[in-house]
Structure formats: C-alpha cells, structure tokens
Amino acid sequence: MNVIKTTIPDVLIFEPKVFGDDRGFFLESFNQHLFDEAVGRNVQFVQDNHSKSKKNVLRGLHYQLAPFSQGKLVRCAFGAVFDVAVDIRTSSPTFGKWVGVELSAENKRQLWIPEGFAHGFLTLTDSAEFLYKATNYYAPHAERCILWNDPQLNITWPEIDDVSLSAKDAVGLLLKDAQFD
C-alpha cells in the first residue's frame, strides 16, 4: 500500500498494490496494521456505507458534531468521483482549507478523512458507487452540512453542466455560519 500525503497532513491517499492478469485483478483494500501505522494511531471502524449516484450528483459537505464526529476511509468501486475533505477544526492552522482527489474504479485510490473534517463528493461518470468505512455511527441529530459552493472555501469543483443536490444539501450553511461544537 502506497501512502500519499496531501496538502493537509492528516488527510491521506491510500493507493493499493494491484495484482492483475487476463482473468482480472486482486488488491488488498484494507489492512488494519498498515492503516494505523500510516495515520499514527489505532482507528476503529464501526460502520460501512455504500451509495450509488448518477452523474453530476453532489453529496455534501457533511459532518457530525462531537461526540459523534466521524473519520472516513472512502473509495469509489464503480465509476469516478471528485472527493473533497474540508478542515473544520477551528484551532487547526489549515481550518477552512480543502483537499480534492479523484477517486475511481480505475485508480482504486482511497482517501482517509479524519474526524474534524466536512466531506463531500461529485459524481463524474454516468453512475458511481461509493464506499466508506466510518469511525462512528450515523447520528442524524448531530449531522450538519456546509454549502458545497461556499465562496470562502473556494473549492475548485470539476466543471459540470448542472449540479444535482438533495434538499438538505441545497440549504447547507456557509462556513462562517456553521456550528462546530
């Protein structure tokens, strides 16, 4: 497993070793020991999620308030997405900064998004299936959303014709108005 650092030190890209031949491929998608070594602590995942989205669907930027904060290890098993992590740790030197990475079935990369980050993704292909491991259970009462196109964040999303949002994502808050604790 190749670990790639991003511009925000706590957000990491995991690139698996893929063994392929004319029959297909094999890869190790998760190894607890290697993962913990890369992130520098023991991480326990308690929930796996799987979503399917059509092209131009944008989900996020979601997060949960403490003590329900979630770390996420995300990947795209079918299709491709542009995945974004935004640092919302108010005491962090990278507060309000973001990392964006293309995750696809082809590149098989995964992104580690620790607790204290908002997360979202945009589907780039006709369809995409997105998988993620979470360090805490989904808690609807603690869920919050930052507006995907907040000018303060200035996220450089890929150019698309028409973004498709859920009703709750369409009314996400600006970073300056968001609740973090």
Count other C-beta atoms under 10 Å from residue 117's C-beta: 27
113-to-2, 3, 69, 87 alpha-carbon distances in Å? 16, 13, 11, 9
- Please name the residues in contact with 143: beta carbons below 8 A apart, sequence gap of 6 or more: 62, 63, 64
Give the residue numbers marked as catalytic: 62, 132
What residues does 85 pair with on adjacent strands? 99, 119
Report how far residue 14's alpha carbon sits from residue 5's, in angstroms, rounded to the nearest whole number.
Answer: 9
Report how far residue 154's alpha carbon sits from residue 55's, in angstroms, rounded to the nearest whole number.
Answer: 22
